[in-house]
Every structure is written in structure tokens, then in C-alpha cells.
Copies of this chain bind each other. A is one copy, B any other.
Amino acid sequence: MTREEKFMLEAVKLAGKGVMANEGGPFGCVIVKGDEIVGRGNNRVLTDNDPTSHAEVVAIRDACARLGTYQLDDCEIYASCEPCPMCLGAIYWARPKVVYYAGTKDDAAKSGFDDSFIYREIELPREQRKIPFLKIQLSDALAPFRVWDEKSDKKEY
């Protein structure tokens, strides 16, 4: 078994344990820095009452808390299944060096987890989406950006 397969097996094990404990769907994730696991997560949507408690988000938050950073430079993410758009976005903001996945979004869809639907929605014009995204014109809308632009002691990230 390769190094990568070994870490992936840990992610898959977390997925199974989460289901057995009724915490949420069958998804697990570990985050590795060097040869050490620095973050672990499984889907906890049901126990946390939190739709954002996907395995990857839980693992990213765990690793960031442990490492005291909001950036996972040089880290590898092992997800038992291909990330949904939310987790993909979270991964880009965390900036690991690589993502490994085992199951695919088609495997997830067969068990009732239809991430593909969200990927299709992203492509649609905002007002044609199942959840409509509507723009409100407000004269103060951009004021926070100007506060940010002009703030001299801000930490850019």
C-alpha cells in the first residue's frame, strides 16, 4: 500500500464511522502535512445541525485550529469522495498543494447526495437558478470595500 493509499484509507474509515454514529452522510477527510495527519473530519451535518459540516470543511477547520493558521500551505487533502462545490471552494481558500479523492460525484449521487445538481446550477444565469440570486441596488453597497481599501493597518490575505 502506498503512502497516499494509506492516508486515503484513514479518510474512508472516518466516513464509515460517521455513518455508524448517525453523525451524517458517508464522507471522511484527513489533512496531511509532511507525514503527519494534522486534521480529521467526517460529515456531521445531522449532529451539528449545520449544513456546512461536510467532512472537508470539518477537517480544514480542525487543521487550521491545530496549526494556528487560515492557510494550509504544503498540506495534502485526502477526501473519501470528490468534493462538492462548497468544499471545493473551501479548499481553494485554504490553498493546500494537492487534493486526493477516491469516490466520485456519481458514486455520491447514487446514494442520494446530488452534488452534480449544484455544479449545474453554478453554470446558470443567476435569476434562472432553482434558488434565485437577485441583485439589490443600494447606494451604500460598496462602502465596506472603500473602508477596506483605505484601511492602513489591514492584514491582506
The answer on a CB contact under 8 Å between A144 and B89 is no
Chain copies in complex: 2
What range describes how many residues of A lie at the interface?
Answer: 35 or more
- A84 CB contacts on chain B under 8 angstroms: 89, 93
Minimum distance in angstroms from A132 CB to a CB of chain B: 5
Question: A133: which of B24, B26, B99 is its contact (CB, 8 Å)?
Answer: B99
5 CB contacts below 8 A, A to B, read A20-B147, A25-B157, A51-B95, A80-B141, A102-B138
Chain A residues packing against B (C-beta within 8 Å) = 4-5, 8-9, 12, 15-16, 18-20, 22, 24-28, 45-46, 48-52, 54, 57, 60-61, 64-65, 68-72, 78, 80, 82-104, 107-108, 110-112, 117-119, 121-122, 131-138, 140-145, 147-149, 151, 153-157
